[in-house]
Structure 1
């Protein structure tokens, strides 16, 4: 993937040089034709939260969804458009909102478990609202997710989301056991943890998009696998960025740096992230060539190059 460090890298540097952008705005500048998708996602999220304006949860929900790259809903929409067979209930945007809310709800839980103080440059949800309202807000958000997805009248969508949530919960428990020293740690454990905690939601986003788009089984499976590989690459890059910024890093990285230098760890993880990005792009080859497919490939490159 030689072109991964060429023009795209320069574009990433220059687009953020003169002004501070929200992360989803930065992504839109990375590739201009993503801008309309992201604007529509933002509008759809705002409209959905607006339905609860008279609820006690309106302000907490608005706070929770502010910021974020919107990559998961973007992958869902692009997956749907890469198939794009007209059928009933084929609008992917409500499902994209549901996936973003599910992601947000998982972050709320994660931050409370890990006792994080900040998220997206502002106080973490549990710090601002306290634990009781945090738990209730996350439950409320999950109910919204189910309400949105039920409208598609497609049992497989709900089943796939349930499977993803189960996998994410297993990953969270595994992470907790590692922190307590109750489980051995290795590269295999690290990758397994990433698959469960992060890649599973990227995978289900792509899969739901393919289902809504009217995909055949092989197309649905192809996009699901793309999402999983993308998610691994994305999380490794996240860990690399935390390492470089000197922020809280995973137990795996701390243990790895006891036996290897910072430079070795950085180079090894970057190569691994590039490898998974290449695999994700390769996975899409059997799909017909569309603008949406091209955008998915660009996102896979972006996952390795991003600086946030």
Structure 2
């Protein structure tokens, strides 16, 4: 858990980010109806981890206070993230997002797709305000990866073949890690940092992003909806998505359990969702993947600790440590 001081500081940071997002909405170059829809998306909340990472990486490298330019870059990352969630919910047929009805169900699929385009254009407009082409390039790469991840996910979901663990990690990198890498790298690009800093922050984003997604996948197996605040806790199982933990379970499970998992995920036979969770838990995959999560966290923190001590660095370390698992 965060120390009480860090928790308070992070809450203040998130409030600042939310205030900046509200300002952007109010100044968005769209008519009132579109602005109201943007407001609907912003008000669904979120952890705001990605923009927070951008701001803290900027402060850690530069020793400068955040300014309008750093906020513009941070908000661009968060807006792209929200644009991608609108499409994800359509693909996954999720009913709720952050305890509220998914945007495409509340309005329409067309509205969700249209708003995803609108948010993306708003994000790139913000990136251009930084007057740093490299930041636009980082955001472009991340957006391309998000688009490719949807194609890959559907391809794997519809195929009657077993994914490899390497393919599952590739999908994580395209879908989740890419925005954490962009958030970290953009933070240092704002200070025109060295190539070494860029590479280190890209690695930090990769390790953080993998730990973040694998932790999320683990909690979808071990936790209840109430514990993690998600109403779609079993969506991945229902959609037969071969997550990394599922593939580890298939590898480690006893022969009979392995056969049942393959029947469900590969042959698409019907099986009770809770039964699938039980099979995964019984395989020992939870401890295996939790260990990998903690290894990624250690690598991410090692990179942070290579920088001089500062308030920003210490916050990043605590945020990273918060992902640790003891399962």
Alignment partners' CA distance in 1, 2:12 and 2:123: 23
Structure-2 separation of matches of 1:255 and 1:212: 39
The structure-2 alpha-carbon separation of the partners of 1:262 and 1:115, relative to structure 1 and needing over 3 Å to count, comes to same
SS in 2 for 1:91: helix
Is there any run of 5+ residues in structure 1 with no aligned partner, and where? 1-7, 12-27
Q: Deviation at 1:145?
A: 0.4
What is the deviation of 1:236?
Answer: 0.4
The normalised TM-score by structure 1 is 0.84
Could you tell me how far 1:287 is from its partner in structure 2? Answer: 2.1
Q: 2:235 maps to what in 1?
A: 248
RMSD over equivalenced CA pairs, Å: 2.4
Q: Residue 229 of structure 1: which of 207, 212, 218 is its match?
A: 207
Match of 1:270 in 2: 290
Residue of 279, 286, 295 corresponding to 2:299: 279
Q: Per the alignment, in what secondary structure is the counterpart of residue 194 of structure 1? A: helix
- Residue 288 of structure 1 and its aligned partner are, at CA, apart by 2.4
Larger Rg: 2
Cα distance per residue 1:21-60 (max 9 Å; x no partner): xxxxxxx886222222111111111111122485221222
Which residue of 2 is the match for residue 158 of structure 1?
136
The answer to whether 1:93 aligns with 2:68 is: no
Structure 2 segments unaligned to the other structure (5+ residues): 225-232, 254-279
Assess if the C-alpha contact under 8 Å between 1:79 and 1:213 holds in 2: no
Hey, what does 1:136 align to over in structure 2?
A: 114
Equivalent residues of 1:161, 1:204 under 8 A apart: yes
CA contact (8 A) 1:86 1:213 kept: no
Contact 2:25 2:39 in 1 (8 A): yes
Q: How far off its partner does 1:89 sit?
A: 7.5
d(CA) in 1 for partners of 2:47, 2:65: 29
Residue 48 of structure 2: aligned partner:
70
* Alpha-carbon separation, structure 2, partners of 1:88 and 1:124: 33
Distance in 1 of aligned mates of 2:288 and 2:302: 21
Residue aligned with 1:175, SS: helix
User: Cα deviation per residue 1:167-215 (whole Å; 9 max; x = unaligned)?
Assistant: 2222221111110116641221111111110001000011111111332
Q: Contact 1:76–1:96 at 8 Å: present in 2 too?
A: yes
Q: Helix, strand or coil for the counterpart of 1:251? A: coil
Query: Which residue does the alignment assign to 1:83?
Result: 61
In the alignment, which of 31, 36, 41 is matched to residue 12 of structure 2? 36
Return the match for 2:324 from 283, 288, 304. Answer: 304
Q: Is the CA contact (8 Å cut-off) linking 1:233 and 1:276 kept in structure 2?
A: yes
Q: Pick closer, same or farther for the CA change 1:199–1:60 going to 2, 3 Å.
A: same
Q: Structure 1 runs of 4+ off > 6 angstroms?
A: 87-90
Does residue 60 (structure 1) correspond to residue 37 (structure 2)? The answer is yes
CA shift for structure 1 position 156: 0.6
Q: Tell me how many residue pairs correspond in the alignment.
A: 282
